[in-house]
Structure 1
Amino acid sequence: MYKIPELLAPAGTLESIRAAINGGADAVYFGGKAFNARRNAGNMDETEMTEAVALCRQYGVKVYVTLNILIKDEEFEDIVHYLNFLAGLGIDGLIVQDPGLIFLLQKYFPDFRLQTSTQGSVYGLEGTLFFEKLGFMRVVLPREMPISEAAMIAEQTRVEVKLFCHGALCYAYSGQCLMSSTIGGRSGNRGLCAQPCRKKYQLRDADNRLIKEGYLLSMKDLNTKDRLNEVAQAGIDSLKIEGRMKSPEYVYAVTRAYREALNAVDEKGKAPSITEKELAQVFNRSFTEGRLFSDPQVIGDVVGRNRGILAGHVIGCEGGRLLIEALPDTAFSVGDGLSFGEDSEKGMRIDALFDLKGHPLSSEKPGIKIKVPSRFEVPAGTPVYRNHDARLTRRLKRESRAAKHVRQQTVRFRLRLALGKQTEVTAEAGGQVVTRISNIMPTAAQKLPLTCEMLSRQFERLGGTGYQFDGLDADIEPGIFLTKGELNALRREIVDALDAEQKEEKAAPMVFSLSREIPVRQAVKKPLLSLEPADRAAFEALCGLAVDELVLPVQDLSRPQDCEAPIAHAHVCGKRVLLAFPRIMDTVASARLKARLEDFCGLDHDGVLLKNYEVLNLFQDRPVYREADQPFNLLNVLAMKQLKEWQADGGVLSPELSATEVAALAKRSAISCVLPVYGRQEIMVSANCVYNCADKQCRGCQRYRGWAALTDERGASFPLYKDVDNIIHIYNGDILLLKEELRRQKYIDKWRIYATDEGPEELETVVSYYRNALDKGVFGPMPGRAGVRYTKGNFKRGVE
C-alpha cells in the first residue's frame, strides 16, 4: 500500500510555526501553556495559538494540538475552558493520552478528531483496533516497533497510523516511565520530565561487580531520512518529527531535509538544500535508524548531550589559548560552540579567532590551524566537535523566517442569466459550495451582449479576497446585458457569502461539573488484601500466605493449561486468582493470546489484570472480572468512569497520586479502587538492553538474565531485572511502605502488595503486617531488611 505520508513538524513557538511552514511541513503540532507533554517548551498563549492557526490556514497546513498529559481532578474546570477555546479555532485534531480526558471529549466535545499520544502506550494491532473502535482518527505506533509490523497494522486497520521519523528517543516505553517523578516529583506523564535517562550510571551485577558505566540509558537520536521509500511502501499516513523544545532553526532544517527526501521518493526531488552534515550539525546525540529498522546500536552510552559533528583536533595549548587544526571541510567562526573528546564533558564558545602567530583572523578558511581563547587546557590529540555552527544558524534563521508566497484558495463560479429574471450565482472553494439568487436582473443588450469571456474578466478580479480565480461556467440567454458595476456587485455578493459559509459559528461554551458527573459512593468496610508476585515461579509457594487474592503471571501465552494447577491450588487455599498477561505485548504476542483466548477464558480464574490496551481489547466483551493495572495511569475520576465505559470493573490507582488525591478520587470512583501499599515501584520498562553488548547478538540472548543494579552519580541505586523476553525492568531503590496513613483511606477496595526480590520469610512478614491491620486494626511487626530504605513515594507529596 504505497503512500507518501503527511510530514508532521513540531512547533513550540510562532517562530517555529513559520519555520515548519517554510520547511515544507504538511501539518504542525503544538501545545498551549498547559496540559501538554512539553510544558518547558516555549508554547503559546491563546492569542498566539489563534494567530498560529490562521497562519497555517493561509498555507494549507493542518494543525494538531497536544493535550497529551494526565489531568488532575481540580484541573478539569480549566481544561473545559481551554476546550471551549479550541473548539472555536477549527483545528484538525487533538493528541491525547488520559482516559479521563478521552471520556470528557467523546461525551461533551464529540466534534474533535482524536489521535493517541505516544504516552498512550499502544503496542500493536489489538491496541490500534481498540482506538479504531473508539472512533479515533489516528494512532501513533511505538518507537520500538519494526517497520514490517507497522506496515501490517496499516494494512489491517482503517484508522490512520503515525510513526516517529526523527529526533530524541526515550529509553523506556513512552507513558511507562516514572523515574523522573519518583526521583524528584516531576512527572513525565504531566509534561515535566527531568530526563534522568540522560545522566551517568554504573551498572553492577548481583555481586556488586562493575559491568560498565557511562550514559547507559541515553538513546541516540532517530534519523530515518534514508529509509523513507520503505516508509512509503508500508502505507504509513503520517511521519512525526520530534522537537517542540528545540529552536526554529532546528525545526526548519529537519523539516526541509525530510520534505526534500519525501519529494525525492515521490520523484519530485531536487538537489537537497540541507546536507547530511548540516542535518547532523543542528542537533544529534549520534544517529540511529532505531528499532523501526532493526538497528541494534540505539543506545549512545558515551555521550548524553548534543555533541554536534567532528570538526578537528587539538594540537596544543599555550598562553591561555587552544591550538586547533580544523578538518579540511571545516571553517570555524566566532560564535561557534565546541566540545572536546568523545564524551564532550568540556565545552566552550569561540569568542575570538587567531592564526598561529596570534594575529586576528579576518576571514574564515577551511582546514587551517587556529588559536582560540580558553579557560582550560585540553590534551593534544583530543577530538574537537562543533555543537553550534554560528554561520549555519544565521543562514537557517534567515531561511526559516523568510516571507513565503501564500497559497490562495481557488474558487470556481457558475452563473445562470436570463432576461428579466434574478441571477443565480454559485461559488465553489475548498469543498464548500454556495449559491445565491440575486436581485440583479439582465436587460436586453443594446450593443454588446454578455459572453463568458466578459464575465470571466470581471469575476477574476479577486485581489484582496484571499481567493484565486479557477474558472467560470455560465448559462447565458442570448442578447442580454449587465453593466460592469452590476457584475462586480454579483462577484462581491457571492464571495461574501462564501466567506460567511467558511467561517464556522462558535458553539455555545460547554459548562461541566465534575461533582454532577460522578456521585459519591459508599465507604468500604474492609479492603481485600492482594499480592502480585514477580514471576510465576513464586506463585504456588505464596498460596499459604494470609492474602485474599493472588495474581498469577502468565508467561507462555500459547499454553493456558499451565495455569490450571496453580489456579486450583490457590482456590484450595481460599484465594481469588487474577491472570496477568505481560505488560508489553506487541502484535505477535497479542496474536498468540488471541489464538488461545477461549481456553484462557475457560480457566477457573476469578478475573484478568489488564496491563495494556491490547489485553483490554481482547477481553472487553468477555464475561470476566477486568481490572486495569498501573500502566493505565489512572489519575482522575473521569479515567475511572471511562474504564467503566470500557467494561473494566476495577482499577489500580496511579502511584503519582498523593494521599489527598487518592482519597478524593476513590470517593467518587465509578469502579473499585486498588491501591499499591507495598513493594518496589517499577519506574521504567524498556525494550532497549542496558547491557548494550558490543557483538549485538540480541535475538535469543541468554546473557545477564536476572537481577543487577544501576547506580547514579549521587550514589542512589536502582534494582534492574532482565526478564526471559529480554525486557529491562528498572525499580525504585526504596521500597514503598504505606501504613498508618491507610486508615484515612475510606474508599479503597483492595490493598495490593507487589513482590519482587523478597525472600519467603520477609514476604510473610509483609503480609502479616497488613493482615493484622485489616483484621485487628493494628499493624503487625514492621517489615525490615538490612540495607533497605522505605518510602511513601508520591503518596506523601504527589507530583507536579
Structure 2
Amino acid sequence: MYKIPELLAPAGTLESIRAAINGGADAVYFGGKAFNARRNAGNMDEMEITEAVALCRQYGVKVYVTLNILIKDEEFEDLVHYLNFLAGLGIDGLIVQDPGLIFLLQKYFPKFRLQTSTQGSVYGLEGTLFFEKLGFMRVVLPREMPISEADMIAGQTRVEVKLFCHGALCYAYSGQCLMSSMIGGRSGNRGLCAQPCRKKYQLRDADKHLIKEGYLLSMKDLNIKDRLNEVAQAGIDSLKIEGRMKSPEYVYAVTRAYREALDAVDEKRKTPSITEKELAQVFNRSFTEGRLFSDPQVIGDVVGRNRGTLAGHIIGCESGRLLIEALPDTVFSVGDGLSFGEGSEMGMRIDALFDLKGRPLTAEKPGIKVKVPSRFKVPVDTPVYRNHDARLTRRLKRASRTAEPAGQQPVRFRLRLALGKPTEVTAEAGEQVVTRVSDITPTAAQKLPLTCEMLSGQFERLGDTGYQFGGLDADIEPGIFLSKGELNALRREIVEALDAEQKEEKPVPVVFSLSHELPVKREVQKPLLSLEPVGRADFEALCGLAVDELVLPVQDLSRPQDCERPIACAHECGKRVMLAFPRIMDTAASARLKAHLEDFFGLHHDGILIKNYEVLNLFQNRPVYKEADQPFNLLNALAMKQLKEWQVDGGVLSPELSAAEAAGLAKRSAISCVLPVYGRQEIMVSANCVYNCADKQCEGCQRYQGWAALTDERGASFPLRKDIDNIIHIYNGDVLLLKEELKRQKHIDKWRIYATDEGSEELENVVSYYRNALDKGAFGPMPGRAGVRYTKGNFKRGVE
C-alpha cells in the first residue's frame, strides 16, 4: 500500500508553529503550559493556542495537542477546564497515554479524536488492535520496531499508524523509564525527564571488572530522510519529527528537509534548500537510521550532546589564541559555537576572527586558516566541530518567518445552473463539504452566455478569506446569464457557509467531580502477601515461603506445559499462582502466545499479571482474574476505573505515587490495588544492548547474560541484567523497603515483594518481616544485608 505520509512537525512556541508551516508541515503537535510531556519547552498559554489553531487553519495544517503525561487525582479539575477550552477550538486530535485520561475523554468528551502517545507503550500488532477497538484514530509504533513489522501492521489494521522519523531517541522503551524519577523526583512520565541517559557511566561485571565506559546509554539521533520511499511503500500514515524543545530554526530546517524529500518521493522534484550538512548542523548527536532500518550502531557512547559537524582541526596554539584550519567547505563566522575532540566535552564561542598575521578578518572565506581568542589550550591535530553556525541560523530564522507558506486551504466549487431556477453551489475544503441553494437565478443571455471560464474568473477571487482556489466544476444550461455582481454574491454566500460549517458551535462545558465518579471503597482488613521473582530459577523453592501468592514468569511462549509443574507445586503449598508474560511483547512474541493461548488459559493458574496492551488484548474477554502490572503507570483513580471497563480486576500502583497519593487512589479504586513494598525497582527496560559490542553479532547472542552494574559519575551503582531475549533491565541501586507507613494504607488489597538478587536466606527474612506485620501487626527487626542501602523511593516524596 503506497502512501505519502503526513509530515508532523513539533512546536513549542508560536514561532515554531510559523516555522513548521513555512517548512511545509502537513500537521503540527504542541502542548499547553501543563499536561504535556515537554513541560520544559516554551509551550503556549490559551491565548497563544487559540492563535496557533487559527493560523494552522488558515494554511490547511492540522493540529494535534499533546496531553501525554500521567495525571494526578488532584489535577483533574484543572484538566477538565483545559479540555473544555480545547473542545471549543475544533482541533484535529489529542495525543494521550494515561488510562484515566482515556476514561475521562471517552465518557465526557467523546468528540475528541484520540491518538496514542509513544509513552503509551504499544509494542506490536495486538496492542495496535486494542486501541483500534477503543476507537482511536491513530497509534504511534515504537522506535524499536523494524519497518517490515510496521508495514505488516499498517496492512492488517484500520487505525492510522505513525512512526518517528527524526530527532532524539530514548535508550529505554518510551513510558517505561523511571530513572530520572528515582534519582531526583523528576518524572519522564510527567514531562520533566532530567535525561540521566545522557551522562557518563562505567559498566562492570558481577566481579566488578570494568567492561567499558563512556556515554553508554546515550542514543544517536534518528534520521531516515534517505529511506522515505520505503516508508511510503509500507503505507505509513504519519511521520513525526521529534523536537518540541528545539528552536524554530531547527523546526524549519528539519521540516523543510523532509518536505522536500517526501515531495521527491512523490515525484514533485525540486532542488533541496537544506543540504545534508545543514541538517546535521542544526542538531545531531551523530545520526542513525535506528532499529527501524536495522542500524546496529544506535548508541553514541563517545558523545552525549549536540556535536554539530566537523569544521576543521587545530594547527597551533599561541598566547590566548587557537589556530584553526577550516575544511574546504567551511566558513567560520563570529558567533559560531565550537567544540573540540570526538567527545566534544570542551567548547567555546567565536567572539572574534583573525588571520594568521593577527589582523581582523574582514571577509569570510571557506577553507582558510584563522586565529580565534581562547582561554584554554587545545592540542594540535584535535578535530574541531561546529555546534552552532551563526550564518546558517540567521538564514533559517529569516526563512522560518518569511518563507513562502505551505499554502492556504484549497477549496473546490461545484455549481448547477439552469434558466429560472435557484442556483445550487457546493464547496469542498478538506473534509468539509457544504451545499447551498441560492435565491439567485440565471436569466436568458442577451449577448454573452455564461461559461465555466467566467465562473472560475469570479470564484478564484478569494482574497484574504483563508482559502485558495482549488478548481471548479459546473453544470451550465446553455444560453443563460448571471452578472459579475451575482457571481460574487454566490461566492461570498458559499464561503460564509463554509466558514460557518468549520466554526462549530462551542460545546456545553463539562462539569466533572472525581468523588461523584468514584465512591469510597471499603477498607481492607488484611492484604494478601505476593512475591514476584525476576526469573524462573528455583521457583519451586519459593513455594515454601510464607506468602499467599507467587508470580510465575513465563519465559517460553511456545511451551505452556513448562508451567504445569511449578503451578502444581505452588498449589500443593497453598499458594495462589499468577502467570506473568514478558514485559515487552512485539508482534512475533504475541503471535507465539496467541498460537498457544488456549493452552495457557487452560492451565490451573489463578490469574494473569498483564504487563502490556498486547497481553491485555489477547486475554481481555477471558473469564480469568487479570491484574495490570507496573508498566501501565497507574497514577490516578480514574485509571483504575478504566481498567475495570477493560475487564481488568486489579492493578499495581505506580511507584511514582507518594504515600498520601497512593492512599487516596486506593480509597476510590474500582478494582483491587496492589502495592510494591520491597525489592529493587526496575527503572529502565531497553532493546538497546548496553554492551554495544564492536562485532554486532546480536542475533542469538548469549554473551553477558546475567548481572552487571552501571556506575555513574557520582559513584551511584545501578544493577543491570540482560535476559534470555537480550532485553536490558536496569534497577535502582537502593532497595525499596516500606514498613510502618503501610499501616496507614487502609485500602490496599495486596502487598508485593520483588525478588531479584537476594540469597535464599535473605529472601526468607524479608518474607517473614512482612508476614509478621500482616499476622501480628508488628514488623519486628528490619531485614538487611551488608552493602545494601534501603529507600522509600517516591513513596515519601512523590514526583513533580
Q: TM-score range by the shorter chain?
A: over 0.9
Corresponding residue of 1:451: 450
- Structure 2 distance, partners of 1:362, 1:439, is 71
Matches within 5 A, 1:222-233: 222-233=222-233
Give the structure 2 partner of residue 27 of structure 1.
27
Q: Which amino acid aligns with 1:600?
A: F
Post-superposition offset of 1:485: 4.8
On the 8 A contact 1:768/1:780 being kept in 2, the answer is no
Q: Assess if the C-alpha contact under 8 Å between 1:611 and 1:631 holds in 2.
A: yes
Distance in 1 (CA, whole Å) between partners of 2:449 and 2:42 is: 57
The alignment partner of 2:758 has SS state of coil
Which secondary structure does the structure 2 equivalent of 1:122 belong to? coil
Q: 1:450, 1:719 → 2: CA distance?
A: 85
Q: Could you tell me which amino acid in structure 1 is paired with residue 371 of structure 2?
A: K
Classify the secondary structure of the residue corresponding to 1:211: strand
Given that 1:288 and 1:295 are in contact with CA atoms closer than 8 Å, whether structure 2 keeps it comes out as yes
Q: Which residue of 2 aligns with 1:625?
A: 625
Decide whether the 8 Å contact of 1:315 with 1:323 is kept in 2.
yes
- State the partner residue of 2:474: 473
Shift of 1:262: 1.4
In the TM superposition, what are the counterparts of 1:563-602 in structure 2 within 5 Å? 563-602=563-602
Contact in 1 for aligned 2:423/2:442 (Cα 8 Å) = no
Tell me if the contact between 1:170 and 1:219 (Cα under 8 Å) persists in the aligned partners.
yes
Corresponding residue for 1:86?
Answer: 86
1:323-361 deviation line (CA, Å, top 9, x unaligned): 111112211111100001111110000000011111001
Spell out, residue by residue over 1:503-557, the C-alpha distance to the aligned partner (whole angstroms, 9 max, x if none). Answer: 2111111111111111111000100000001110131111111000000011111
The letter for the 2-side match of 1:765 is: N
Residues 415 and 774 (structure 1), Cα distance of their counterparts in 2 relative to 1, 3 Å cut = same
* Counterparts of 2:163 and 2:543, CA distance in 1: 45
Aligned match of 2:721: 721
Cα separation, 2, equivalents of 1:253 and 1:189 = 29
Amino acid corresponding to residue 721 of structure 2 in structure 1:
Y
Provide the residue aligned with 1:677 in structure 2.
Answer: 677
Mark the CA change 1:361 to 1:561 in structure 2 (over 3 Å): closer, same or farther. same
Please report how far the alpha carbon of residue 461 of structure 1 lies from its aligned counterpart in structure 2 after TM superposition. Answer: 4.4
Partner residue in 2 for 1:739: 739
Cα pair distance change 1:384/1:594, threshold 3 Å:
same
What is aligned with 1:336? 336
**Structure 2 partner of 1:164:** 164
Report what 1:660 is aligned to. 660
Contact 1:673 1:747 in 2 (8 A): yes
Give the structure 1 partner of residue 415 of structure 2: 414
Partner of 1:131: 131
- Report how far residue 435 of structure 1 moved: 4.4
Aligned to 1:66: 66
- Secondary structure in structure 2 of the residue aligned to 1:170: coil
Q: Distance in 2 between matches of 1:454 and 1:165?
A: 46
Question: How far is 1:566 from its partner?
Answer: 0.6
Amino acid at match of 1:353: L
2:766 aligned residue: 766
User: What is the RMSD of the two structures over their aligned residues, measured on CA atoms?
Assistant: 1.8
Q: In structure 2, how many angstroms separate the alpha carbons of the residues matched to 1:662 and 1:10?
A: 34
1:94-243 paired onto structure 2 within 5 Å: 94-243=94-243
For 1:613, the equivalent position in structure 2 comes to 613
CA drift at 1:410: 2.2
Show the counterpart of 1:386.
386
> Aligned partners of 1:126, 1:434: CA distance in 2, in Å?
39
1:519 to 1:756, Cα distance in 2 relative to 1, 3 A: same
Q: Indicate the larger mover: 178-187 or 379-388.
A: 379-388
Whichever residue aligns with residue 528 of structure 2, its letter is: L
Question: What TM-score do the two structures reach when normalised by structure 2?
Answer: 0.97
Contact 1:325 1:370 in 2 (8 A): yes
Q: Which amino acid aligns with 1:653?
A: L
**Aligned equivalent of 1:247:** 247
- The 10-residue stretch of structure 1 (425-434 or 679-688) with the greater mean CA deviation from structure 2: 425-434
Letter in 1 for 2:57: R
Q: Distance in 1 between matches of 2:772 and 2:704?
A: 39
- C-alpha contact 1:411 1:467 (8 A) present in aligned 2: no
**Is 1:524–2:505 an aligned residue pair?**
no
CA distance in 2, matches of 1:735, 1:725: 25
Q: Residues 70 and 98 of structure 2 are in contact (CA less than 8 Å); yes or no, is this contact kept in structure 1?
A: yes
The 3 A distance-change label for structure 1 pair 371 and 618 is same
Measured after TM superposition, the shift of residue 425 of structure 1 is 3.8
- Give 1:462 deviation, angstroms: 3.8
Residue 428 in structure 1 maps to residue 427 in structure 2: yes
CA distance in structure 2 between the partners assigned to 1:79 and 1:402 by the alignment: 36
* Residues 329, 455 of structure 1: alpha-carbon distance in 2 compared, 3 angstrom cutoff: closer
Aligned letter for 2:425? T
- The answer to whether 1:76 aligns with 2:43 is no
Q: Could you tell me how far apart the structure 2 residues matched to 1:455 and 1:684 are?
A: 64
Amino acid at match of 1:658: S
Instruction: Give 2:413's aligned amino acid.
Output: R
> Where does the alignment leave 5 or more consecutive residues of structure 1 unmatched?
none
Alignment CA distance shift 1:318-1:486 (3 Å): closer
Kept after mapping to 1: 8 A contact 2:417/2:442: no
Mapped to 1, the partners of 2:686 and 2:438 lie a distance apart of: 67
Corresponding residue for 1:730?
Answer: 730
Identity %: 86
Q: 1:408 to 1:635 in 2, by over 3 A?
A: closer
Whether the 8 Å CA contact 1:450–1:476 is kept in 2: the answer is no
Offset at residue 451 of structure 1 (A): 3.1
Question: CA 1:58–1:488 in structure 2 vs 1: closer, same or farther (change >3 Å)?
Answer: closer
Q: Structure 1 counterpart of 2:33, which letter? A: K
- Larger deviation, residues 448-457 vs 594-603: 448-457
732-741 or 144-153, which deviates more: 144-153
Native 8 Å contact 1:178 1:683 kept in 2: yes
Quick one: distance in 2 between partners of 1:218 and 1:444?
A: 76
Contact 1:634 1:653 in 2 (8 A): yes
Quickly say closer, same or farther: Cα 1:595–1:340, change in 2 above 3 A.
same
C-alpha distance 11-459 of structure 1, shift in aligned 2 (>3 A): closer
Cα gap change, 1:563 to 1:418, in 2 (>3 Å) = same
- Encode CA deviations 1:577-603: one digit per residue, 9 max, x unaligned: 000011011111111111111001111
CA distance in 1, matches of 2:518, 2:287: 48
In structure 2, C-alpha distance between the alignment counterparts of 1:574 and 1:435, rounded to whole Å: 72
Q: What is the distance in 1 between the residues matched to 2:693 and 2:289?
A: 18
CA, structure 1 residues 10+484, in 2 after alignment: closer, same or farther (shift >3 Å)? closer
In structure 2, the CA distance between the partners of 1:14 and 1:576, relative to structure 1 (3 Å rule), is same
The Cα of 1:418 is off from its aligned counterpart by: 4.4
* Partners of 1:222 and 1:467 in 2: CA distance: 36
Q: Is the 8 A contact 2:427 2:494 kept in 1?
A: no
SS in 1 for 2:673: strand
Given residue 564 of structure 1, which amino acid in structure 2 is its aligned partner? E
Matches of 1:488 and 1:168 in 2, distance apart? 51
Indicate yes or no: 2:15 matched with 1:7. no
Letter in 1 for 2:281: Q
2:78, 2:114 → 1: CA distance? 20
Answer whether contact 1:288 1:297 (CA < 8 A) is retained: yes
Aligned positions of 1:335-414 closer than 5 A = 335-405=335-405, 406-414=407-415
The 3 A distance-change label for structure 1 pair 682 and 543 is same
Q: Would the alpha carbon gap of residues 763 and 435 (structure 1) be closer, same or farther in structure 2, given more than 3 Å must change?
A: closer
Letter of the aligned partner of 1:535 in structure 2? G
Q: Contact (CA 8 Å) 1:770, 1:780: kept in 2 or not?
A: no
User: Paired residues, what number?
Assistant: 796
CA distance in structure 2 between the aligned counterparts of 1:342 and 1:499, rounded to whole angstroms? 56
Residue 409 of structure 1 deviates from its aligned partner by 2.9
Residues 203 and 709, structure 1, Cα contact 8 Å, conserved in 2: yes
Assess if the C-alpha contact under 8 Å between 2:734 and 2:791 holds in 1: yes
Structure 1 residues 435 and 333, CA, compared in 2 at 3 Å: closer, same or farther? closer
Aligned partner of 2:156: which letter?
Q
Residue aligning to 2:513 = 513
Structure 2 counterpart of 1:602, which letter?
Answer: G
Separation in 2, partners of 1:232, 1:483: 48
Q: Does the C-alpha gap of structure 1 residues 705 and 456 become closer, same or farther in structure 2, counting only changes over 3 Å?
A: closer
Task: Flag the 1:365–1:677 CA change in 2: closer, same or farther, 3 A.
Answer: same
